[in-house]
Amino acid sequence: MADQVGTCAICGTATATSRRRQARYCSNACRQRAYRQRVNEPVTALDSFIGREAELVRLGRFAGTRVLTLVGPAGVGKSRLAKEFAAGRWTRVELDSVTDVASACAAALGEPAGEPALSTLVHALAGRETVLVLDNCERVAAECAALLEPLLLGCPGLTVIATSREPLRVPGEVLFAVQPLSITNAVELFADRARANHVGLRLGDRGALAALCTRLDRLPLAIELAARLVTVLPVKELLARLDDRLELLNRGNRTAAERHQSLRAAIGWSYDHLSVDEQHVFRCISQRPGGFGLDGAVQACDLPSDRVLVLLSALVAKSLLTITGAGRFEQLESVRLYGRERLAEQFAGDVPGGRAANLKVVRRGPAPAANH
């Protein structure tokens, strides 16, 4: 006769054992759920993880946080850092093409489709210790927030790690800003990926490598895309062509999401989800290299000061702009070049016979004497 010892690997219910072995699952339903979880669990990364050891240590200090959101600009490496931090003890939900967040979570956890999906999730997770990684939340941030508050209240063992280009703004959320790599790690990443694309490659001048990575904003995605070009362009020539990076950096991994196939697509993913007014300000401030203050932004955008401040704050929240102190703002160079490209497109469309290639400065008001 079987004894009731051990617990189910899925729900924690006591499982039966025989003389030969202990049952891992209490029922066929849990066995099927475990199978679905294995199917949804991503494989170990096939490339090396470089330059984020300090961030992993810092993230470890938030081990007791219920909602930890990794925020940062396109291509900074939020998803990869979250995966390394969770270290295989998680269920990942990819949200870049999802319309129903609750149903996507239920499917990733191996739960059968049910109505409503929130009740299904609460029932499934109420008695479990679970780490749920919600990846690429920015497009459905409001839906994620609406789901997480009742889910966290009903499931005390649930921890959520989110990656997003903007905060989810839920109670208890802790934000972890993912920064570009240090220049040392950026150079190391470029060298590693370049040698993977060109076995035996000798990169030579590290000063040129450092300048290249600096111009690429030390963004892992931009660096990895650039490293693919070493088979056709020497580093110094690649560096000289970076004003055209949005055309050059377009050979991502075939298996990557579409927004990671090129640098233009990665930044465009953020731009496309801005409001009309946010897009207008984004385009206008792209004429301001080297940073600017509120007065400079007002002159560039030809909008009331209070309105510009609100819109600048929204761009900061969405990782398209940074505050550098003393009331000044800056854009990453790659982001600014994308803004100028969109501004040129608007100019070419608004002016009959206009040529985007001839665009120098496009404004709606009088030209400023200098940056503020």
Q: Considering Cα of 279, then 284, then 287, then 292, what sign does the dihedral take?
A: negative
Using the 3D structure, point to which of 234, 266, 298 is the last residue of a domain: 266
Q: In the chain, how many domains are there?
A: 4
Give whole-number Cα distances, 5 to 24, 45, 50, in Å. Answer: 11, 36, 44
Claim to verify: residue 107 and residue 74 sit in the same structural domain: yes
Quote the pLDDT of residue 326. 80
Residue 370 domain flag:
no
Tokens 């600048």 — which residue? 312
Quote the pLDDT of residue 30. 59
pLDDT digits (tens, 9 = 90+) for 276-291: 999 999 999 999 888 8
Report the range of poorest mean pLDDT among 37-46, 104-113, 201-210, 239-248: 37-46
Residue 368 domain flag:
no
Q: For residue 326, which amino acid is it?
A: A
Quote the pLDDT of residue 90. 81
What pLDDT band is residue 248 in, cutting at 50, 70 and 90? very high
Residue 372 domain flag:
no
The mean predicted confidence, pLDDT, of the chain is 83
Asked if the model's pLDDT at residue 307 lies above 80, the reply is: yes
Q: For residue 249, which amino acid is it?
A: L
Claim to verify: residue 206 and residue 220 sit in the same structural domain: yes
Claim to verify: residue 111 and residue 62 sit in the same structural domain: yes
Report the range of poorest mean pLDDT among 70-74, 107-111, 318-322: 107-111
Residue 364 domain flag:
no
Residue 238 domain flag:
yes
Tokens of 131: 């780490």
Cα 281 to the center of its chain, rounded Å: 22
What percentage of the chain exceeds 70 in pLDDT?
A: 80
Query: What is this structure's pTM?
Result: 0.79
Quote the pLDDT of residue 253. 74
Nearest to 83 by CA among 33, 128, 43, 138: 43
Claim to verify: residue 64 and residue 173 sit in the same structural domain: yes
Claim to verify: residue 286 and residue 261 sit in the same structural domain: no
Using the 3D structure, point to which of 242, 266, 290 is the last residue of a domain: 266
pLDDT digits (tens, 9 = 90+) for 326-343: 889 999 999 999 999 999
Quote the pLDDT of residue 39. 39
Tokens of 180: 């570009």
Nearest to 92 by CA among 57, 138, 151, 137: 137
- DSSP-derived pairing of the beta strands 158-164 and 173-177: unpaired
Instruction: Provide the domain limits for residue 22.
Output: 3-40
